[in-house]
A and B are shown apart, each in its own frame.
Chain A
Amino acid sequence: KAGVTQTPRYLIKTRGQQVTLSCSPISGHRSVSWYQQTPGQGLQFLFEYFSETQRNKGNFPGRFSGRQFSNSRSEMNVSTLELGDSALYLCASSLEQGNEQFFGPGTRLTVL
């Protein structure tokens, strides 16, 4: 069974731009969560989607948004990029809400 896939793996953007990251969960998994990993703040929860609905949200500004499609694939969007948004963005999927999560390889975003 294929694991969680994330595209693209690497991105370079400039301040003020927006970016969309994509995550395809493990087949059959319906819950997708997003995390941001930075050297300074560590791993922080962004949001969780289940059945196309946002179920839980972390403490991030409204510039960070996401959505989930009917096939459980998810996208997250960051608008008006700031230098501090440079991070590894990890997607995790689970069978249902509350089950153990399996992580993708991440998308490394660099904001110049």
Chain B
Amino acid sequence: AQSVAQPEDQVNVAEGNPLTVKCTYSVSGNPYLFWYVQYPNRGLQFLLKYITGDNLVKGSYGFEAEFNKSQTSFHLKKPSALVSDSALYFCAVRPDSTASKLTFGTGTRLQVTL
């Protein structure tokens, strides 16, 4: 069975500073990894995915994520945070290419302050 861990319930960062939201995963076989963001009273918005290829994945709104197979991690990063980035971020894993079922982490609340 696959699982995802997001060790931080909340991450606080000042606007303009770089941000990192951590995610580690456990899955048999090659992982399919995703990051989603959720704003209040909204559904999940897709940010980026890792299927195969370059370990650094670029996504929407200036976000990127680094896949590290040896550390089984897929941390979300952004060079310069914006107040509007404040939201709930979810990391998710899928076991293979054919299944749509996503297993989500518990979420990390990102708070960006002026």
Which A residues form the contact surface with B (CB < 8 A)? Answer: 4, 6, 31, 33, 35, 42-45, 48, 50, 55-56, 58, 90, 92, 94, 97-106
Contacts and interface: CB of A to CB of B under 8 A. Distances in A.
B48 to A, nearest CB: 10
A43 to B, nearest CB: 4
A48 B100 contact: yes
A99 B101 CA distance: 10
B99 A97 contact: yes
A4 B90 CA distance: 19
Nearest to B48: A100
Interface of B: 34, 36, 41-46, 49, 90, 92, 94, 96-107
Nearest to B51: A100
Across the A-B interface, give the 4 residue pairs with the lowest CB-CB distance, nearest first.
A103-B43, A43-B104, A103-B44, A105-B43
Nearest to B44: A103
Given A50-B100, A94-B100, A100-B46, 19 more contacts: A33-B100, A42-B107, A43-B104, A43-B107, A55-B100, A90-B44, A97-B98, A97-B100, A98-B94, A98-B96, A98-B98, A99-B100, A101-B100, A101-B102, A102-B46, A103-B43, A103-B44, A105-B42, A106-B42
A35 B90 CA distance: 14
A67 to B, nearest CB: 17
A103 B99 contact: no
Nearest to B103: A45
12 contacts: A33-B101, A43-B104, A43-B107, A50-B100, A56-B99, A90-B44, A92-B44, A94-B100, A97-B100, A98-B100, A100-B49, A103-B36
A90 B107 CA distance: 16
A18 B36 CA distance: 31
Contacts of B99: 48, 56, 97-98
A43 B90 contact: yes
Contacts of B46: 100-103
Contacts of A48: 99-101
